[in-house]
Amino acid sequence: MAKANKEVLYGLYDDEEVLLEAVHKAQEEHLEIMDVFTPFPVHGLDHALHLSESRLHIAGFIFGAIGTLTAFLFMTWVFTRDWPIIFGGKPYFSAPAFIPITFELTVLFSAIGMVVSFYTVCGMSPGTVNPTLDDRITDNKFCIAFDTTNADATISDQLRAFFSSTGASEVNVKTI
């Protein structure tokens, strides 16, 4: 399904502290921010935007637990059911010797699971072309974007006034 094009009004800031102030002000004025783009993670931005905490670490825990169980149960099955062999007179179920591999697979499952989840929820994959507003956003500009597809002139003016009052260095419109 082709996504409908959106008209985006965005302002570029030169400094992350100015950006944070602007985000706070936008929240006070109840302006609906579409998204904020920055060249590096800005401390406190997620709180300012009232973003809920990422749940990736929960995914990491679940994947890790799957790894733990897979490794430990598999080795137990192999050495007690499928093909029991005595190694150095030790019992078939020699749990302490299973710990290193169990640990490694816990880490492996957790890491792979989390990374795959991260790219999936962010909608990223090799070759994905996500529309970008400005090439300088990954360099030195901090961007606040508003969706103005269905906005009338009053709202656009209000947003432009907001940008000029909060110190945006540039304001542009782009259809993405």
Partner 1 sequence: MSAVVSPIRDPLIEGGKTYGQITEDICSPTERVPSLAWTVAFIIAVLGLGLYVFTVVWTIFYGIGSWNLNRTIGWGWDITNFVWWIGIGHAGTLISAILLLFRQKWRTGVNRAAEAMTIFAVVCAGQFPLIHMGRLWLGFFIFPYPNTRGPLWVNFNSPLLWDVFAISTYFTVSLLFWYTGLVPDFATLRDRSKGIRRKLYNTVSFGWTGAAKHWQRFESLSLVLAGLSTPLVLSVHTIVSFDFATSVIPGWHTTIFPPYFVAGAIFSGFAMVLTLMLITRKVLKLEQYITLAHIESMNKVILVTGTIVGVAYLTELFIAWYSGYLYEQYAFYNRVLGPYWWSYVGMMACNVLSPQIFWVKKFRRSITITFVMSIFVNIGMWFERFVIIATTLARDYIPSSWSYYTPTWVEIGIFIGTLGLFFTLYLIFTRVAPVVAVAEVKSILKTAGDQYVGPNAKHQHETETAKTASH
Residue the block writes with tokens 């931005």: 45
Binding footprint of partner 1 on the chain (CB under 8 A): 16-17, 20-21, 35-43, 45-46, 49, 51, 53-54, 56-57, 60, 64, 74-75, 78-79, 82-83, 85, 87-88, 90, 94, 97-98, 100-101, 103-105, 107-108, 110-112, 114-115, 118-119, 121-130, 132, 135-140
For residue 151, the minimal CB distance to partner 1 (Å) is 21
For residue 130, the minimal CB distance to partner 1 (Å) is 4
| Cβ proximity to partner 1, 27 vs 39, nearer residue | 39
CA distances from residue 56 to 43, 105, 120, 141 in whole angstroms, order as listed: 19, 19, 11, 28
Burial string for 100-132 (b: 16+ CB within 10 Å, else e) reads eebeebbeebbeebbeebeeeeeeeeeeeeeee
For residue 160, the minimal CB distance to partner 1 (Å) is 22
Alpha carbon distance 105, 126 (integer Å): 26
For residue 152, the minimal CB distance to partner 1 (Å) is 26
